[in-house]
Structure 1
Amino acid sequence: MLLFSIITAAVAPGIALLTYFYLKDRYEAEPIHMVVRVFLVGVLIVLPILVIQRGLELWLGSGPVVFSFAVSAGVEELMKWFVIYHIIYKHKEFDEPYDGIVYAVAISLGFATVENVLYAVYQPMTVGSLLIRAMLPVSGHALFGVTMGYYLGKAKFASAATAKRRFLVLAALLPLLEHGLYDYIMGSGSTYWALFIVPLMIYLWIRGVRRINRANAGSPFRLIGHEEEIKL
């Protein structure tokens, strides 16, 4: 019973955040079965990510910069980008810019939820530590997903091929840099880590909300809805 309670507490933040970002789709919500499927893909990629990370750590070492930006953030964000690009980017359901955010957040939270469960099960966790993990790493993964999805959406609907390529690169590079900076701060061992991580999280949330609004504003269904209002 205790184990069930711990797992439930570890899973809840990911589900809550996914629900929040799903409901932010103002004009045409994605099929729930597609979002759940991508979330489960995020769960499944945990194992290959761990294997690759272990191999890179043995090869490159575990220095703070290398580990934060290459082993941790590099592998995780590039794997998520690779999977989303190949299974969602060209899918017929990806029909408005915000869809990139929904699916990138879904795969990110699938990964983050498993990570959170593993921490909760194998390390002594208090209510306070679970709350901190919900506010920091779990929401961090979601916000890295917002960045990735925002630029995937821009790439999908850009008219010029050069713009598409540029946005696809940004969709991989920017969340990697955000994630790497987050990991570097958290792994620095500094007593004053909170003085750095709190402003970073505030910045990511502000930027994330702005990107959500911009993605929604670019929806073709927004114009359709506006036309229907005029007709009425």
Structure 2
Amino acid sequence: MFLNFIQNYPFILAFILGLIPALLWMWFWLKEDIHPEPAKILTLSFIGGMLAVVFVLPFQKIVYFYFQDQETISFILWAATEELAKFGFVYFIALRNKAVDEPVDDIIYLIVSALGFVTLENTLFLIQPIHLGQVVDTIVHSNLRFMGASLLHVMSSATIGIMLGLSFYKSRGEKILYTVIGIILAIALHSAFNLFIIREVSGNIFFIFGAVWVGIIVLLLLFEKVKHVSNLKSNLP
């Protein structure tokens, strides 16, 4: 009966499998923030990340239609639409809010948005195998996506957040420059990952996932650095 229910309503199991790792990662990052963010804005940022998936789907179909024979361009444009959508939604939901009162807040909200994005993205990815009754394969696939694509989204969005955090006390012009650089870096990381996965050769997959984990470690170190960014002007006598 349970299997019949799951096959008839595959979205439920797919959503649970997509949500659990996202919640675990969210708990990990939120505990790094010594000044907790408002639950309402965090929730809206997460939902905004999910809405970004719906927003980018038609654009990605257009990209595929016009550039299906140009693999590199397709993946760069796909990555660009996803990174811009994630950033755009969280910018209007959270980053302009007065709750963002310290450098690490930018990183937190962008990571939460990314986790919302991967939750729905993973859900859509897992629906078909669940509907076909491939529950074990589904769990394996969900773990692979959690290890790869999910971590990538966290890393790419956090890259933008780090640049915003580093420029938190700088002038408006410098903030814009840092933001643009962060978005470009995020798109580059995302595009490189997608291209390496598609052109996967024997043993290359382990190198790719290893590189993503190294990136997460670097992200943690940079997160600590952003924690200590201070307003030099306020420290002047």
Q: Shorter chain as normaliser: what TM range?
A: 0.7 to 0.9
2:64 equivalent in structure 1 = 57
Q: So what's the TM-score if we normalise by structure 1?
A: 0.85
Deviations 1:107-134 (A, max 9, x none): 1111110011111112343332221111
Contact in 2 for aligned 1:64/1:187 (Cα 8 Å): no
Q: 1:16 to 1:85 in 2, by over 3 A?
A: same
Matched, 1:9 2:17: yes
| Deviation larger for 80-89 or 104-113 | 80-89
1:191 equivalent in structure 2 = 202
Identity of aligned residues (%): 22
Q: So what's the TM-score if we normalise by structure 2?
A: 0.84
1:200 equivalent in structure 2 = 211
Q: How does 1:1-232 map to 2 (within 5 A)?
A: 1=2, 2=6, 3=10, 4-26=12-34, 28-70=35-77, 72-123=78-129, 124=134, 125-158=137-170, 160-218=171-229
Distance in 1 (CA, whole Å) between partners of 2:69 and 2:220 is 34
Deviations 1:120-164 (A, max 9, x none): 112343332221111111122111121111112223321x34422
1:227 equivalent in structure 2 = none
Deviations 1:180-224 (A, max 9, x none): 11111111142333143133213211221012101222267xx9x
- AA aligned opposite 1:126: T
Contact in 2 for aligned 1:98/1:153 (Cα 8 Å): yes
Distance in 1 (CA, whole Å) between partners of 2:60 and 2:215 is 25
Distance in 2 (CA, whole Å) between partners of 1:6 and 1:169 is 35
Distance in 2 (CA, whole Å) between partners of 1:87 and 1:157 is 21
Contact in 2 for aligned 1:148/1:172 (Cα 8 Å): yes
Which runs of 5 or more residues in structure 2 are unaligned?
none
Distance in 2 (CA, whole Å) between partners of 1:62 and 1:172 is 26
Count of equivalent residues: 218
- AA aligned opposite 2:117: F
Structure 1 residue 68 displacement after superposition: 1.9
Distance in 1 (CA, whole Å) between partners of 2:112 and 2:74 is 25
Q: 1:157 to 1:186 in 2, by over 3 A?
A: same
Distance in 2 (CA, whole Å) between partners of 1:81 and 1:5 is 28
Contact in 2 for aligned 1:39/1:109 (Cα 8 Å): yes
Structure 1 residue 167 displacement after superposition: 0.6
Structure 1 residue 53 displacement after superposition: 0.9
Deviations 1:30-78 (A, max 9, x none): 11111111100111121120001111221233533112211x2111001
Contact in 1 for aligned 2:52/2:82 (Cα 8 Å): no
Q: 1:32 to 1:60 in 2, by over 3 A?
A: same
Which runs of 5 or more residues in structure 1 are unaligned?
224-232
Structure 1 residue 6 displacement after superposition: 4.1
1:230 equivalent in structure 2 = none
Cα RMSD after superposing both structures: 2.0
